[in-house]
């Protein structure tokens, strides 16, 4: 960790949100900001209190572009926020053009970014420990956020350890939906209802989820398939063939489809130039004819499944597939061999599909979720709107 | 009014702007904004420093993973503090 060199002389700090974001309810922002302060309050001898009157220690604002401090925000992406060290006032500014979200893999998680910025407000600089909250790069939503030891040591170096139990609200509990809604039976699934096995399912960067089977595809709604489907895969996806093997959307927003020894890359529903390419070129170490692929929320890496084996692919590593791979699918407790499809859905859970049934994986217990009714469940009823 | 747009890192010029913004260019003599000549060694050292900070392979070259890391969403505060405009910021 790194300390900037200044700190607050007092231990009881006040804050206010003087300008709220345009995309969230004020009460939700209040709660997330309080949760972010509590991250530091839990491990240090500091307390934080919101106030709407008088002078405060830390002023919080959501602003666009140039906002008076000579350090303009740059629109969506790029710089998300910045904050001043104690000697410069401690204020925290967030780019209001970002899509700030709460308990969602979409957009940018307000809680995590706020907790990071408040670290600056308290005197912490950026850490070169990648797992630290004070690392400068946004890692995506982490459903089970935990402060790194590096961060704890940093804040305690400035303010000491907590001497009495934290008085504020209990630790945050994610409120994201945990269960896919059962279908209403009013969908357009057709052939999916007579045989609910699928080739692949993928959620795109725009959060639309598509099911591919044979030469057709369907757009999913929350509990069924959308009107107007199925449609032709080849006609709507720029010549993409049917009978796909696997698909996934990576953190760069691109969606990749695999079939046989080739893969295709899409920006939304438009195929990028130069595709298809050989899997051996783009995904060195991954075999042809995979069963499925998905990006796991636990670490952001791409997992490829084939028969009773799986491979973990880390694009920025050299080599991208470690020497320990492939490993046995049985390491994923409860997941069968030879799966048809897998995806991480918008509620953050990873789902596996085989022979018309599906399983929901719990990445905290690292096994299939226990639920009523139990998994596997029929995909036709729960996903495709079949009676 | 048009808002500023994100700096897309695509090559050496944009990378140097990024490295300067986040504190890796430690001398006005290596400031890409003032037209001063940049030594190859200074540029390589700045890239090495960034790669070390970000936990990347330290090649000193603007390779793909370095560019990808530079294009990731991030905090606007500097990584290396002690010089540059950010340290002169005041609250009010």
Residue A276 · residue A264 · CB < 8 Å: yes
Strand A79-83, strand B74-75: pairing: parallel
Cα–Cα distance, A347 to A180 (Å, whole number): 8
Q: Is the pLDDT of residue A168 over 60?
A: no
* Residue A163 appears among annotated catalytic residues: no
Query: What per-residue confidence (pLDDT) applies to A86?
Result: 92
Query: What per-residue confidence (pLDDT) applies to A298?
Result: 64
Distance (Å) from the alpha carbon of A69 to chain B's nearest alpha carbon? 7
How many degrees, rounded to 5, is the angle at CA B55 between CA B82 and CA A303?
A: 145
Chain A positions touching B6 (Cβ under 8 A) are: 74-79
Q: What is the pLDDT of residues A232-268, one digit of tens each?
A: 999 999 889 999 999 999 888 899 999 999 999 999 8
Q: What is the pLDDT of residues B40-91, one digit of tens each?
A: 888 899 999 999 999 888 999 999 999 999 999 999 999 987 543 344 333 2
Of B5, B72, B77, Cβ closest to residue A75: B5
DSSP states of B5-27: ------SHHHHHHHHHHTT---S
Residue that wins the pLDDT comparison between A33 and B36: A33
**Which 3 state secondary structure label does DSSP give A58?**
strand
Cα–Cα distance, B67 to B65 (Å, whole number): 5
Distance (Å) from the alpha carbon of A94 to chain B's nearest alpha carbon? 10
Q: What is the mean pLDDT of residues A195-208?
A: 90
Query: What per-residue confidence (pLDDT) applies to A36?
Result: 96
Q: What is the mean pLDDT of residues A166-171?
A: 42
Q: Is the pLDDT of residue A186 over 60?
A: no
Cα–Cα distance, A108 to A77 (Å, whole number): 9
Q: What does the buried/exposed string (b/e) look like for B78-88 if buried means 16 or more CB atoms within 10 Å of the residue's CB?
A: bbbbeebebee
- Model confidence at B31, pLDDT cuts 50, 70, 90, reads low
Query: What per-residue confidence (pLDDT) applies to B36?
Result: 58
Closest CA to A291 of A306, A281, A278: A306
Q: Which residue has the tokens 């666009």?
A: A64
Q: What is the pLDDT of residues A330-384, one digit of tens each?
A: 888 889 999 999 988 877 788 999 999 999 987 667 788 877 788 899 999 889 8
Distance (Å) from the alpha carbon of B92 to chain A's nearest alpha carbon? 8
Chain B positions touching A70 (Cβ under 8 A) are: 85, 89
Average pLDDT over chain A, rounded to whole? 87
Query: Which tokens is A337 given?
Result: 């061999």
* A137 has a chain B CB within 8 A of its CB: yes
Residue A334 · residue A325 · CB < 8 Å: no
DSSP states of A242-257: SS--EEEE-TTSEEEE
Chain B positions touching A126 (Cβ under 8 A) are: 53, 75, 77-79
Q: Which residues of B touch A (CB under 8 A)?
A: 1, 3-7, 22, 52-57, 65, 68-69, 72-79, 81, 85-86, 89-92
B11 phi/psi in degrees, rounded to 5: -170, -170
Determine which one of A41, A63, A117, A262 is catalytic.
Answer: A117
Query: What per-residue confidence (pLDDT) applies to A188?
Result: 63
ipTM: 0.82
Cα–Cα distance, A156 to B37 (Å, whole number): 43
Report cis status (omega within 30 of 0) of the bond before A319: yes
């Amino acid at each position: 960790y790194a300390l900037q060199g200044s700190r607050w002389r007092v231990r009881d700090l006040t804050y206010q949100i003087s300008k709220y974001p345009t995309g969230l309810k004020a009460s939700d922002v209040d709660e997330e900001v309080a949760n972010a302060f509590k991250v530091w309050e839990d491990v240090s001898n500091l307390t934080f209190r919101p106030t709407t009157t008088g002078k405060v220690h830390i002023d919080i604002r959501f602003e666009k572009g140039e906002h008076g401090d000579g350090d303009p925000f740059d629109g969506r992406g790029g710089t998300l926020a910045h904050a001043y060290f104690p000697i410069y006032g401690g204020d925290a500014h967030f780019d209001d053009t970002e899509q700030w979200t709460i308990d969602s893999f979409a957009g940018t998680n307000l809680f995590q970014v706020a907790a990071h910025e408040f670290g600056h407000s308290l005197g912490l600089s950026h850490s070169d420990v990648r797992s630290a909250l004070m690392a400068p790069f946004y890692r995506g939503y982490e459903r089970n956020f935990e402060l790194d030891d590096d961060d704890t040591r940093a804040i305690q170096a400035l303010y000491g350890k907590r001497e009495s139990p934290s008085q504020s609200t209990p630790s945050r509990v994610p409120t994201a939906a945990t269960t896919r809604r059962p279908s209403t039976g009013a969908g357009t699934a057709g052939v999916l209802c007579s045989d609910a096995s699928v080739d692949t399912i993928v959620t795109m960067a725009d959060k639309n989820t598509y099911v591919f089977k044979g030469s057709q595809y369907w757009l999913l709604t929350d509990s069924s398939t959308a009107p107007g489907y199925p449609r032709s895969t080849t006609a709507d996806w720029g010549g993409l063939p049917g009978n796909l093997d696997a698909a996934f959307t990576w953190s760069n927003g691109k969606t990749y489809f695999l079939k046989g020894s080739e893969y295709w890359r899409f920006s939304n529903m438009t195929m990028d130039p130069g595709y298809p390419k050989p899997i051996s070129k783009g995904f060195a170490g991954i075999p042809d004819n995979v069963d499925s692929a998905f990006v796991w929320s636990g670490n952001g890496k791409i997992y490829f499944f084939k028969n009773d084996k799986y491979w973990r692919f880390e694009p920025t590593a050299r080599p991208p597939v470690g020497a320990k791979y492939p490993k046995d699918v049985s390491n994923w407790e409860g997941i069968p061999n030879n799966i048809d499809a897998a995806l991480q859905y918008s509620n953050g859970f990873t789902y596996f599909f085989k022979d018309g049934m599906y399983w929901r994986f719990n990445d905290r217990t690292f096994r299939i979720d226990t639920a009523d009714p139990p998994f596997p469940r029929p995909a036709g009823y729960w996903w495709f709107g079949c009676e | 009014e048009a808002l500023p747009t994100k700096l897309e890192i695509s090559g050496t010029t944009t990378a140097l702007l990024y490295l300067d913004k986040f504190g890796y260019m430690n001398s006005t003599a290596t400031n890409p904004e003032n037209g001063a000549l940049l030594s190859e060694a200074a540029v390589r050292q700045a890239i090495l420093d960034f790669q070390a900070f970000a936990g990347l392979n330290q090649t000193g070259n603007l390779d793909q993973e370095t560019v990808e890391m530079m294009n990731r969403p991030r905090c606007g505060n500097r990584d290396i503090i002690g010089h540059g405009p950010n340290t002169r910021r005041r609250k009010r």
